[in-house]
Amino acid sequence: MGELFGLIAWGPTGWGDEIAAGAWLTIRLAVVTLPFGLLLGLAIALAKESSNSYLRAVGNVYTTVFRGLPELLTLFVIYNMVQIGANRLTQMIAPGSQFEISGFAAGVIALGVVFGAFASEVFLGAIRAIPKGQSEAGRSLGLSPWQTFRLVRLPQLWRLALPGLGNLWLVLLKDTSLVSVIALNDLLRQTQVAVGVTKEPFFFYLIACLIYLFFTLISQVGVNRLEAQANRGFAAR
């Protein structure tokens, strides 16, 4: 047992610092993807609520595709397409030069695209749950449609969307493990490296699972706090 714990020591002899670096990358990946995915999700939800039927169609096709594809496949395709696309673009602007989008950026884009598809459904449910009288009242006060959205509906949206978004955050956190298959040295990838050297798969994968579990539990506490804060002023049912 003592030998095993020596393996996760800090420094050149143990794998503690490598795994911690991987865990840190996992957190950064999820945290950076979140705002991008939220904005994308909100934009698609608004497209699906729009009075313009073409915007609605675009929103629905987007959701159908990216909710229906396996995350692993989406990640792989988008990761490669982003790389190829960036390469073609640089060749057009400055032929001969080399430019590579970092694996991190490509991972964020791929994860964000999937997150956006699911988030749009959460936002859509929340938008529809806000009584129509709210935006009518806003309009009759003389607010513009954009002001009504920003000042009246958006603040209420947050409270209604929070439980669904909390779940999506947990899904995102776990989906980051899929980028280990592509190229990034996230928590799971670093664990694989450690396993390759030490030949102690059970111990290291268990540690990785426990770290993910720790992130999940911390997140749940955070989401509960946010929900309590958003629901203050509403009588508990």
Partner 1 sequence: MTDLGATPPRVSPANPPAERGPFGLDKPLFDRLLVAAIILVLAAWIIPNINWRLVDRYWFRYLEGIAVTFQLVLISVGLGAALSLPLALARLSKRRWLTGIARGYITFFRGTPLLAQLFLLYYGVGQFNDAFEAIGLWWFFREPLYVAILTFTLNTAAYQAEIMRGAIGSLPKGQEEAAMALGMSRWPIFFKVILPQAYIVALRPLGNELILMIKGSAIASIVTVLDLMGITSLAYARSFNFQAFFWAAALYLIAVEAVRRLWDVLERRLTRHLALSH
Note the residues at the interface with partner 1 (CB under 8 A): 53, 64-65, 68-73, 76-77, 80, 170, 174-178, 180-181, 188, 191-192, 195, 199-203, 205-206, 208-209, 212-213, 216-217
Distances (CA, A) of 187 to 178, 215, 233: 10, 12, 40
Per the CB < 8 A criterion, the answer to whether 33 and 108 are in contact is yes
- Residue 126 or 175: which CB sits closer to partner 1? 175
- Residue 49 or 200: which CB sits closer to partner 1? 200
The least CB distance from residue 232 to partner 1, in Å, is 26
The least CB distance from residue 201 to partner 1, in Å, is 4
The least CB distance from residue 181 to partner 1, in Å, is 6
Cα of 220 vs its chain's centroid, Å? 15
- Residue 148 or 176: which CB sits closer to partner 1? 176
Q: In whole angstroms, what is the distance from residue 172 CA to residue 194 CA?
A: 24
Per the CB < 8 A criterion, the answer to whether 104 and 119 are in contact is no
- Residue 110 or 152: which CB sits closer to partner 1? 110
CA atoms within 13 A on the CB side of 172: 32
| Distant-in-sequence, close-in-space partners of 74: CB < 8 Å, separation ≥ 6 | 66, 110, 113, 114
The least CB distance from residue 233 to partner 1, in Å, is 27
